[in-house]
Amino acid sequence: MKGSFRRTFVEYFFITIGAFIMSLGVGVFLIDAKVVPGGVTGLSMAVHYLTGNEISVGILMWILNIPLFIWGIVELGKSSASRTAG
């Protein structure tokens, strides 16, 4: 039981660190330099620039990730989804 808790804690810790590094990369480097990468982040940034900065990149990333999250639930199951959302 103790080892399982430790493993889960370490996994969530590294997921949190990865999300933090990703958000710094987008916020500090990509948006300031107006570099549009691929994927949901790039699509969100492109819409942000095309609308004259009216739509927030972060909000649009959340909205565009919802269908991908639902697809992940269908394909990978609820246990994987709970770890992703957690």
- For residues 52-74, give the mean pLDDT: 91
pLDDT for position 2: 72
- In the chain, how long is the greatest CA-to-CA distance? 52
Whole-angstrom distance, CA of residue 1 vs CA of residue 4:
5
Give residue 1's pLDDT band: very low, low, confident or very high (50, 70, 90).
low
Instruction: With a cut of 80, say whether residue 86 has pLDDT above it.
Output: no
Whole-angstrom distance, CA of residue 61 vs CA of residue 75:
21
Whole-angstrom distance, CA of residue 51 vs CA of residue 72:
29
Instruction: With a cut of 90, say whether residue 8 has pLDDT above it.
Output: no
Total domain count, the chain: 1
Task: Answer yes or no: are the C-beta atoms of 30 and 5 closer than 8 Å.
Answer: no
Phi, psi of 26 (to 5 degrees): -70, -50
Residue 10's alpha-carbon distances to 7, 13, 15, 16, in angstroms, are 5, 5, 9, 10
Instruction: With a cut of 90, say whether residue 43 has pLDDT above it.
Output: yes
State which residues form the domain around 15.
Answer: 2-85
